[in-house]
Amino acid sequence: MYNKTLGLFDVFDLGDFSFLILLAKKNLKHLLFASTLLSLIVFFISLNIEKKYLSEATLVISPDENKIVSIDEAYSTANIQNRVNNQIAILTSDEVIEYIVKDEKNQLEFQALYSQTEKNIFNRIFFKKTIIDKDYIKSILSNNFSVRNIRSSDVLVLTFVSNNAKISQLALKNIISSYQRYEVDSKIQITTYANTKIKERLKELRIQMDIADKDLAQYKKEQNLVDTGNVKELNIKEIQSISANILKLKQDIQKHENDLISVKTANGDMDILLAIKDLNERKEISNIKNNLSANENNIQSLLLIYTVEHPKVSQAYELSKSLENQLKTIIDEVIQKKVFELSNLKNFIDLSRKDLENAKNELMVIEAKEAGMLNFSREVESSRKLYETFLQRVKETNEAQNLQVSKLKIIEIPNLPSQPFSPKPFKNFFMALLLSFCGFYGLLFYREMNSSVIKTPEAIEHLDIPLVGVLPSVTNIKKGYHILQNFLEDNESNFSEAIRSSRTIIESKFEKNKSYLVTSSNPSEGKTSYAFNLALSLEKNNKVLFIEADIRRPSVLNSFYKFDKEILGLGEIISSDANLKDVIFTVPGTKLEIITSGAKRFDMSDIVNKEQIKKFFDVLKLEYDYLIVDSPPVQPVSDTLILIQASDYNLFVVRSDSSRTFAFMSSIKKIKNINAKIDGIIINDLDTSKDSYYNYNYNYNYSNKYHNDA
């Protein structure tokens, strides 16, 4: 059933809506009558069903100021959505409804309004009288109230539906008021609970502060500490001073060691010794050097006047020798002094290092004591700050209890609806008219496609496919005659005249030396009879080859005619078991040549493709004026879809009062899906006795028209 229903919509894929229009025109009166009748029933029901009034209000849920951490958090979509969802849950909760139903004044107002409400005819007939009590009011408030959040905002739209406009407005006002009371009461309860818990925490903090102070005092006493800050600073300065002295001593030692190395290298050479900076810069050595230089100049002057043996010269030489001895003595003393000083410096640097190590150890001890004391001090400070924070919170909660307000901001107050929003009789009438028309038309279409059969040419006019033949019913066939070759045996019959008319149309509309495929939707629709009689009519003035392409069933022609040799046919050609000349036979008494289906039975699509079949047809068209191909029906097998793509013209046979519309439309859809088309339609077995005018019109005027066109 499901596949059948889906198949009905294939008609739309054909791109042909004229069939739908024709179907609507044909049944327009019935469709309009049924649709209007149903719509009037809907209109009458709408007038008498209970009216519904809708009251609306718009609110904004403000955020808690004391909970805002940052701008991003305050305006984030997730934060807004969570806050709004929480408030919606509160608005629709039983606690808010309870605030309303517990108020006797509200209960009396609801009872008074319900007593004034007029009941419709259905309520008066089918329902008992309603008792307006607390449970009923609670159920009405719960079932008819709804909240909608405007997307990505904290705006809420509240709606209430009732059969009385004043009840809708009153209910919405009471819900908003009840929510505000509930919210404020909840906040007061929360702040009271918080105040109690904070005070309990303050007591605990006082005890912790006392314990922390006692622990700090006990630690100072045990470590003999009063204030370690100055002691630590002095110790650090001492370490810095000792480190600086050690560094200076190292420099002096290095200097003395360098000078002594230079003395050792000089090996008594006075000039090298005097080049040592420390020796050269000493005042006593510098004075002796100056005296030696002056005495040397004096000797040079005396030698210009006196001889070497002169007493003055000798006295000058003795003075130089005396000065050199003094210089040597002083240098030796300085060197001895440097050795002594180097020894003293090394001893002093060792002592300084010991002092530095002792100072470091003392600093480590002080820092360890200080770290312990700081832990106790931090505990004391932390307890003090925590105590001050909770003390401030106590003050805030005390003030908050007296300043609680609702976060609800009313933008639009609940309105009093002037008109019911439901039902809307006229809207329902037109909607019912449209939907019922479409529904009845759909049922009609379904019935037409599944149950109807093609009866007359008018049934297929909407397809814009040429009608190339209308074959009348043949009820009485002369004894010994056969419908398969009726054109040959009963040349004067209406059937033969119809074949001639169809031949004339084909000759005028289509070209020669082409292939003509004849098919139908299902078996037994007369395609073989039409194809063979058409071939017999064309054979009179043309060279014609008839090909029986239905290779899946025994040959019709093979059983009808008795040939004088083994029958080979199309199946043997496709399977390469026979040559073309071996499969062509001539129909007795005519020049019509035929190729039967042969003895081979297989699926054509497994052996050949459309290109191979087309080449085969092209070869035959060189020899024949017309190739008439009798193909299998479209619906049962797939061979026809290959043959249709290979042929030049495709003719489709439908049997009047037998071929179903759905099968016919489905076959055309299949053919169009392979990018092929139907070039002409033949209606077979038309009962012309029902309309004598049509009989005359077809057999005379229709034939003459196409003879003239030709």
Residues 6+ apart with CB under 8 A from 462: 16, 18, 19, 21, 22
172 and 261 fall within a common domain: no
55 and 159 fall within a common domain: yes
Looking at 191, 217, 240, the residue that finishes a domain is 191
Asked which of 18-22, 88-92, 689-693 is least confident by mean pLDDT, the reply is 689-693
Which residues make beta-bridge pairs with 514? 626
Does residue 678 sit within a domain?
yes
How much is the pLDDT for 703? 42
Q: Please state, in angstroms and rounded to a whole number, the distance separating the CA atoms of residues 276 and 258.
A: 10
Does residue 622 sit within a domain?
yes
| pTM attached to this predicted model | 0.46
Q: Please state, in angstroms and rounded to a whole number, the distance separating the CA atoms of residues 190 and 396.
A: 13
The pLDDT > 70 percentage for the chain reads: 74
Does residue 419 sit within a domain?
no
Q: What is the CATH number of the domain that holds 530?
A: 3.40.50.300
**Cβ(641)–Cβ(671) below 8 Å:** yes
394 and 505 fall within a common domain: no
Q: Please state, in angstroms and rounded to a whole number, the distance separating the CA atoms of residues 489 and 589.
A: 11
162 and 236 fall within a common domain: no
Domain count, the chain: 3
Closest CA to 176 of 319, 56, 341: 56
669 and 529 fall within a common domain: yes
531 and 669 fall within a common domain: yes
Does residue 450 sit within a domain?
no
Closest CA to 650 of 507, 463, 519, 471: 519
Does residue 13 sit within a domain?
yes
**Cβ(279)–Cβ(399) below 8 Å:** no
Q: Residue 232 sits in which domain range?
A: 228-400
How much is the pLDDT for 64? 59
CA distances from 153 to 149, 179, 407 (A): 7, 20, 15
Does residue 417 sit within a domain?
no
186 and 246 fall within a common domain: no
Note the pLDDT tens digit of each residue in 14-57. 445 666 777 777 788 888 888 899 888 888 887 777 788 888 99
What is the mean pLDDT of the segment spanning 251-274?
A: 74
Does residue 322 sit within a domain?
yes
Is the pLDDT reported for residue 403 higher than 60? no
How much is the pLDDT for 189? 65
Q: Please state, in angstroms and rounded to a whole number, the distance separating the CA atoms of residues 543 and 529.
A: 19
Rg, the chain, Cα only: 62
Closest CA to 83 of 11, 149, 1, 170: 149
> What are the counts of helices (DSSP H) followed by strands (DSSP E) for the chain?
28, 12
Closest CA to 81 of 61, 95, 58, 59: 61
186 and 238 fall within a common domain: no
Looking at 372, 400, 428, the residue that finishes a domain is 400
Looking at 128, 163, 191, the residue that finishes a domain is 191
Does residue 412 sit within a domain?
no
Is the pLDDT reported for residue 370 higher than 80? no
Note the pLDDT tens digit of each residue in 591-649. 999 988 887 677 787 888 889 999 999 999 999 999 999 999 998 888 889 999 999 99
117 and 242 fall within a common domain: no
How much is the pLDDT for 364? 76
166 and 277 fall within a common domain: no
How much is the pLDDT for 448? 65
What is the mean pLDDT of the segment spanning 564-581?
A: 79
**Cβ(510)–Cβ(554) below 8 Å:** no
How much is the pLDDT for 649? 95
58 and 170 fall within a common domain: yes
Note the pLDDT tens digit of each residue in 448-483. 665 566 766 776 776 778 899 998 887 766 655 667
Q: Please state, in angstroms and rounded to a whole number, the distance separating the CA atoms of residues 29 and 134.
A: 55
What is the mean pLDDT of the segment spanning 547-572?
A: 71
118 and 232 fall within a common domain: no
Is the pLDDT reported for residue 522 higher than 50? yes
